[in-house]
A and B are shown apart, each in its own frame.
Chain A
Amino acid sequence: MMSRFRPVFEYGVALALLTVAWWYASGPMGIPKYLLPSPQSTVSTLWDSLVSGELWPHLWFTVRNILLGLGIGSVAGIAVAYLLYKMPRLSTFLDGPLVVFQTAPKIALAPLFVVWFGLGLTAKIVLIVSLVFFPVLMGALAGFRSIDSRMHDLAKLLKLNPFSLFWRIDLMAALPGIFVGLKIGAVQALVGAILAEWISGSDGLGYLMTFASATYKTPLLFGAVLLTSLLGIALHGLLGVIEGRLLSWKVQDGR
């Protein structure tokens, strides 16, 4: 039971310390408001814009893009990983190029994506997908390649069709690896979503940050940053819950 609340507790302590330091720096230490707004003014700005409803579309825009990118990126990553796993010949050709793509700084390619896919939604989703795809691919590939071959003996004995083999055995057995990739991918997705909104468009938390800094609305800027951090924590927590559900067979009981 303790272990379930431990992360919550740790987050809480870290957040509290940060808030105290922030309050001290903006208040007693006397850093000017336009450089560092106080926690109170940040929260009240955030609260006002939440109540007035002007924040919700931005928050929803960012969340939706992250979820969309995570969804497409991980499905594609798992699919390509399975293809490479099933066709070792293909993977001897593709392993090299994949490493190159994987290590290439996708963030740096963001402006290029805008040139290719325009200022709209497509470029944003493409960026997020490209950030999610590779970690999930690598995690899934490691997961598939570590499947106990004796499970395939069982599948052969039961004459499972390829579809059943994938859904009932391979995907389940590779889930631990997939989740390793997915957790890295989720962080990347958040970074990608914010970055994409900095570059173009007039929606999302990222846009709100650029708008606030351009108009010297520092409390709003801080509010957007705070909200983004909370979003990151929520995403992490959500994945943790899903992982706990799906992989309870893997973790040792706390006995």
Chain B
Amino acid sequence: MITTSGLTKSFDLDGGSILALAPLDHRIEKGAFVSIVGPSGCGKSTFLRLIAGLEDASGGTIELDTGSAKRPVGFVFQDAVLLPWKTVRDNIRFPLDTAGVRRDEGNRIVSELIELVGLSGFEDALPKQLSGGMRQRAAIARALSDDPPILLMDEPFSAVDLLTRETLNDELLRIWQRTGKTILLVTHSVEEAAYLGSEVMVMSPRPGRLKKTYTVDLPHPRGEATKLDPAYHQLVAELRQDMRETE
């Protein structure tokens, strides 16, 4: 579904150039849920931006096998990036409006999503009136609104309190299972990575590269039982160890 071969990215930085991503060969199957962990600056955001086509590769190729989808990827940015002049509802509608979706159809989708991310009652609020976590949830709803086959999420829950975060994790798993989307999610939490992923990519810095990938075969649907599963704890411990080594 997503195949990268020899994918590299370097940035020019006052005269010099820094390698943000060393050649990366990887294949992500359709319908996978890939968690990506790694220390700050190891190129996680860069990897997602390359897949989304927001950044041009310095070398190598990316293939997205998404057929005829006009907008193959939805993206949840590290900061929400809502349009400040639009209400929550209109921000979530934005992808639909610009795709020419019928108004009543759009309204139906948007109210479902608002319910889903728990923003009921804030439909008409402006982004400046929301907390960081609420903005982030609006951004998640926006990324889902035009139903892209690939969903890229860059630390989507970093500004959300623990309880909401767990709720959103479970919602995300449910959406994933229901829709069969391919999801890539960057996180700093190894627990979250293990809990959500069907696969975990561990990256290491200077230069950013893929250190290891784990296939996670914890059973689905996941829930409180998963968090008691010894296999889960084993994976979390291994990931934590990997992270320590990358420092």
Contact B83–A253 (Cβ < 8 Å): no
Contact B126–A249 (Cβ < 8 Å): yes
Given A157-B75, A159-B71, A249-B128, CB of A164 within 8 Å of CB of B54: no
Is B193 part of the contact surface with A, judged by Cβ < 8 Å?
no
Contact B81–A150 (Cβ < 8 Å): yes
Contact A151–B53 (Cβ < 8 Å): no
- In the bound complex, residues from chain B placing their C-beta under 8 Å from that of A153 are 49, 54, 75, 77, 81
Chain A interface residues toward B at CB < 8 A: 148, 150-151, 153-154, 156-160, 164, 168-169, 172-173, 175, 248-250, 252-253
Q: A157-B74, A158-B99 are in contact. List 7 more A-B contacts (CB 8 A).
A: A153-B49, A153-B54, A153-B81, A157-B73, A158-B94, A159-B71, A172-B85
- In the bound complex, residues from chain B placing their C-beta under 8 Å from that of A150 are 77, 79, 81
- In the bound complex, residues from chain A placing their C-beta under 8 Å from that of B74 are 157
Which 5 interchain pairs have the tightest Cβ spacing?
A249-B85, A150-B81, A153-B54, A249-B126, A172-B85
Is B23 part of the contact surface with A, judged by Cβ < 8 Å?
no
CB distance from A246 to the nearest CB of B (A): 8
- In the bound complex, residues from chain B placing their C-beta under 8 Å from that of A169 are 83
- 30 A-B contact pairs sorted by A residue (CB < 8 Å): A150-B77, A150-B81, A151-B81, A153-B49, A153-B54, A153-B75, A153-B77, A153-B81, A154-B77, A154-B83, A156-B54, A157-B53, A157-B54, A157-B71, A157-B74, A158-B71, A158-B95, A158-B98, A160-B98, A168-B94, A168-B98, A248-B126, A249-B84, A249-B85, A249-B127, A250-B84, A250-B85, A252-B128, A253-B128, A253-B129
Contact A151–B83 (Cβ < 8 Å): yes
For B49, B52, B81, the residue with the greatest tally of chain A CB atoms inside 10 Å of its CB is B81
Alpha-carbon distance A151/B127, docked complex (angstroms): 14
Chain B interface residues toward A at CB < 8 A: 49, 52-54, 70-71, 73-75, 77, 79, 81, 83-86, 94-95, 98-99, 126-129
For residue A153, which residue of chain B has the nearest CB? B54
For A151, A157, A248, the residue with the greatest tally of chain B CB atoms inside 10 Å of its CB is A157
- In the bound complex, residues from chain B placing their C-beta under 8 Å from that of A154 are 75, 77, 81, 83
Number of A-B contacts (CB under 8 A): 52
Interface SS of chain B: loop
Alpha-carbon distance A250/B74, docked complex (angstroms): 27
- In the bound complex, residues from chain A placing their C-beta under 8 Å from that of B127 are 249
Contact A159–B70 (Cβ < 8 Å): yes
Alpha-carbon distance A252/B81, docked complex (angstroms): 19
Alpha-carbon distance A172/B49, docked complex (angstroms): 25
For A158, A160, A253, the residue with the greatest tally of chain B CB atoms inside 10 Å of its CB is A158
CB distance from B99 to the nearest CB of A (A): 8
CB distance from B147 to the nearest CB of A (A): 13
CB distance from B66 to the nearest CB of A (A): 13
- In the bound complex, residues from chain B placing their C-beta under 8 Å from that of A248 are 126
CB distance from A242 to the nearest CB of B (A): 14
- In the bound complex, residues from chain A placing their C-beta under 8 Å from that of B94 are 158, 168
Alpha-carbon distance A251/B128, docked complex (angstroms): 10
Alpha-carbon distance A230/B228, docked complex (angstroms): 76
- In the bound complex, residues from chain B placing their C-beta under 8 Å from that of A158 are 71, 94-95, 98-99
Q: Which of A157, A168, A173, A250 contacts B52 (CB 8 A)?
A: A157
Alpha-carbon distance A253/B125, docked complex (angstroms): 12
CB distance from A56 to the nearest CB of B (A): 39
- In the bound complex, residues from chain B placing their C-beta under 8 Å from that of A164 are 98
- In the bound complex, residues from chain A placing their C-beta under 8 Å from that of B98 are 158, 160, 164, 168
CB distance from B74 to the nearest CB of A (A): 8
- In the bound complex, residues from chain A placing their C-beta under 8 Å from that of B81 are 148, 150-151, 153-154
- In the bound complex, residues from chain B placing their C-beta under 8 Å from that of A159 are 70-71
- In the bound complex, residues from chain A placing their C-beta under 8 Å from that of B53 are 156-157
Alpha-carbon distance A180/B208, docked complex (angstroms): 44
Alpha-carbon distance A160/B70, docked complex (angstroms): 11
- In the bound complex, residues from chain A placing their C-beta under 8 Å from that of B95 are 158
For residue B142, which residue of chain A has the nearest CB? A154
Alpha-carbon distance A130/B226, docked complex (angstroms): 70
CB distance from A169 to the nearest CB of B (A): 7
Contact A172–B70 (Cβ < 8 Å): no
CB distance from A179 to the nearest CB of B (A): 13
For B53, B73, B75, B98, the residue with the greatest tally of chain A CB atoms inside 10 Å of its CB is B98
CB distance from B109 to the nearest CB of A (A): 15
Alpha-carbon distance A175/B127, docked complex (angstroms): 17
- In the bound complex, residues from chain B placing their C-beta under 8 Å from that of A253 are 128-129
Alpha-carbon distance A168/B49, docked complex (angstroms): 23
For B52, B70, B85, B129, the residue with the greatest tally of chain A CB atoms inside 10 Å of its CB is B85
Alpha-carbon distance A151/B79, docked complex (angstroms): 11
